[in-house]
Structure 1
Amino acid sequence: MFELFFDLVFVYAISRITAMIHHPVNGGIPLATFLEFLLVVVVVMEIWLYQVVYFNRYSKNNFLDIAGLVLNMFTAVYLANNINTEWRITFHYFNIAMAVMIATIFCQYLFTSVNEVNDKREFLFILGIEFFLVILGLILGYSVGIYFCIAAYIISLILPIFLWEKFKAERVNFPHLVERVSLIVIIAFGEAIVNLANYFNSKTPLMYAAFLFLSLVLMFASYVLLSDKIINHHQISRGFVLMYSHIAIAISVLLMTVDALYLNTKNVDRKFLYGLIVVTIVLYYFSLIVNQVYSKKVCRFEKIEAITLLTIFVIGALILWLVKNSILGVMICLLIWNLAFFIVFLMKSKNSLN
């Protein structure tokens, strides 16, 4: 229950992240702003995942574990309140919050009651490097320190990939991990649904909100089929693909939120919006498909299904280009596009019943 309570903090954090690119500049999103957005998503998802992994592998839900979780909840709210594109202003506040959260998780790993030989040394090593670089960045100040902080977050993201053989798959509670990453996806979709409130006004046709709502429902339904029906929950796995793919899924859902907002904004360049929607669709469904490494054998995508998915994407992208200047046309295209992907996932999930 405390883990679910912890997740609620990220509802606010995700809303703050999305706000970074809510407002278009000269018809689109400046590259620097978009990269800042991606980095912040990665940072927030990364700290969330390290906390999830600790509870998944080591936690006994004792007083110290819960106390660390509650402290990180409080700090996460402070961190979320300092998420914006004015990095020079919020540099110290944001990174101090990150340093506190990293230190808390480091101590949880260090003082875990699990005493047998395990892979916590690798976690301590990674978190130690990240903490050191963030503190160094804070000491050096914004102009130079920003690069140390960025390096800290990127290193802690990619270093586990190089050390993956050191992590023991037997320690992973895979059903719990699937459940936890699913919850962050639900939170991201919740933010997308809430933002559709902008369509409920006297000037906007109600069908616009309906089409976008159904598109989001179909996207989420495809994810549910993957998470509930296609993935084999009873397996021994480190879960690396699952965790990293969910960072990409979270990014794609947040981008879809922005796509929906931009679609009804007149000063957005339609070619830019087309490209953003295509990137969103590619990132989302590719991130779903890569999780077939955890699929039940009867639910794995064969070559013919891969060709079908590729064909759906290409046809959808071509039709979207033709209707890109029509709000209603784009919405209908998105609805049919997501429906086609959903049907493929639905047919594949039916194999699990055989």
Structure 2
Amino acid sequence: MSKPVTMIELFYDLVFVYMISRATALIHHLEHGVIAPLALVAFVFVVIVFINSWMVQSVFINRFGQSSWTDIGFTFVDMMIVLYMANSFSAHLHANLQPFYIAAGLLSLTLCLQYLIVLVQTNNAADRNIARAFAAILGGRTLAFLIAGWLPGPLGTIIAVVGVVASWIAPAFTGRYTHQHPIIFGHLLERLTELSIVMFGETIVGIAGFFTQQRFSITSIIIFVIVASLFFAYIATFDHLVDDARTGETGNLLIYLHYPIIFGISMITVSLNFITLPTAKPNFAVTFLYVGITLLYLGLRCARRYQRPEFQCADGTYGWIVGCLMAGYLLSLVLPSRFSTIVVTAIATLASCAALVRRVYQARNIAS
């Protein structure tokens, strides 16, 4: 079974391009050479809220979407809410986040209403169970956000965090229902790949400053090589190694493994600028960069379950990647210059990517 990605879905993704740039801006600034802990916490919270909403909407469209006027109407309403939310959060300690919580509550409510409509309209027992479960999850998140928007101060934030964490984890326990109506794997894979490409797009925007008349140098080229090798590792995994024709899947693992990928790409985006900034502490910039790269590869490793049997990567492949990244990290910590760090990182990421690409060509040669 297949399902094409619609133009409405791609249009919906455009607001997330803006959201990602706004969220990543939370960790673009340094205090005393490092990212402020509050800014990092705010970034994680905001990204989970937005991406979880995107995931819920994408899974709904995957199972129940019919490109009806109702679906289109909800999509446009959600887009306006997301745009408002993207302009209503801050990492400042005393920032008023109540408008953000209320908007997030309304976004959760629209998602909940879509599942309630399915619950009312369908007679299929499996679909009713799925709709009931997700309506309950989203209803709880709606209530938590609206209460948080009404309560000022730390108490409201605590309630919002509890609601987000609960609604983020809860779908993992719906397998007994979702197995009865599996997702269309190829469609969900394509949607998640598009989201990841949007994230890499933000990385390209982040390194664009290295490609000006004033700053262009060999460093610019090497930094681009780092980004290209990481992108190629992602594509080698999800465009070649993963079987997009799988059936009987709930999609939960595919969704959750993309969270470390998304966070990793965001960390890489800001770190590539940090490692060239004199105001950034070198060890912090290097560590933040390699944590981001590790998160990206952790997500790729978790996708091993979905690989075609003939394309399965051996443990030795991932052992090689771990060794390359560990060696690159340790060398970057002891090398005296920032340029050396960039060169070593480029070599480490190229060597890691090459291991996955080599597996693709090996499998193709065997198949032929």
- TM-score normalised to the size of structure 1? 0.95
For residues 221 and 308 of structure 1, the distance between their equivalents in structure 2, rounded to whole angstroms, comes to 17
CA separation in 2, counterparts of 1:135 and 1:164?
28
Higher RCO (CA 8 Å, separation ≥ 6 residues): 1
> Residues 34-53 of structure 1, C-alpha deviation per residue, up to 9 Å, x if partnerless?
12111111111101101111
In structure 2, do the counterparts of structure 1 residues 72 and 209 end up closer, same or farther at CA, with 3 Å as the change threshold?
same
- Cα deviation, 1:187-237, whole Å, max 9, x if unaligned, reads 111011011122234543422221111211111111111111100111121
Counterpart pick for 1:279 among 280, 291, 302? 291
Shift in Å at residue 331 of structure 1?
A: 1.4
The SS at the match of 1:111 is helix
1 CA distance for matches of 2:361 and 2:85? 43
* Structure-2 separation of matches of 1:229 and 1:38: 30
2:124 is matched with which residue?
116
> 1:149 Cα shift?
0.6
* Structure 2 residue aligned with 1:245: 257
Structure 1: unaligned runs, 5 residues or longer: none
Paired position in structure 2 for 1:302: 314
- Pair 1:200 & 2:200 matched: no
CA distance in 1, matches of 2:184, 2:339: 45
Partner of 1:40: 46
Farther off after superposition, 38-47 or 89-98 = 89-98
Q: Which residue of 1 aligns with 2:56?
A: 50
**Secondary structure, aligned partner of 1:84:** coil
Tell me, what secondary structure is at the counterpart of 1:330?
A: helix
Establish whether residue 317 from structure 1 lines up as the match of residue 317 from structure 2: no
Q: How many residues align?
A: 353
Q: TM-score, length-normalised on structure 2?
A: 0.92
- 2:338 aligned with 1:327: yes
Q: For the residues of structure 1 that align with 2:94 and 2:173, how far apart are their CA atoms?
A: 32
1:152-301 equivalences under 5 Å are 152-168=163-179, 170-236=181-247, 237-301=249-313
Query: 1:32 Cα shift?
Result: 2.2
Question: How many Å separate the matches in 2 of 1:33 and 1:290?
Answer: 28
1:6-85 paired onto structure 2 within 5 Å:
6-85=12-91
What percentage of aligned pairs have identical amino acids? 26
Cα RMSD of the aligned pairs, angstroms, is 1.6
Contact 1:189/1:220, CA 8 A, preserved across alignment:
yes
Unaligned 5+ residue runs, structure 2? Answer: 1-6
2:85 is aligned with what amino acid? L
- Aligned equivalents of 1:50 and 1:303: distance in 2? 33
Does the residue aligned with 1:82 lie in a helix, a strand or coil? coil
Equivalent pair of 1:58/1:114 in contact (CA under 8 Å): no
Q: Which moved more, 1:232-241 or 1:83-92?
A: 83-92
> Equivalents in 2 of 1:223, 1:97: separation in Å?
33
Distance in 2 between residues matched to 1:68 and 1:205, nearest whole Å: 45
On the 8 A contact 1:262/1:273 being kept in 2, the answer is: yes
Could you report, residue by residue, the CA deviation over 1:64-86 in whole angstroms, capped at 9, with x for unpaired residues? 11100110011111111123213
Distance of 2:52 and 2:245 partners within structure 1: 25
Please report how far the alpha carbon of residue 322 of structure 1 lies from its aligned counterpart in structure 2 after TM superposition.
2.5
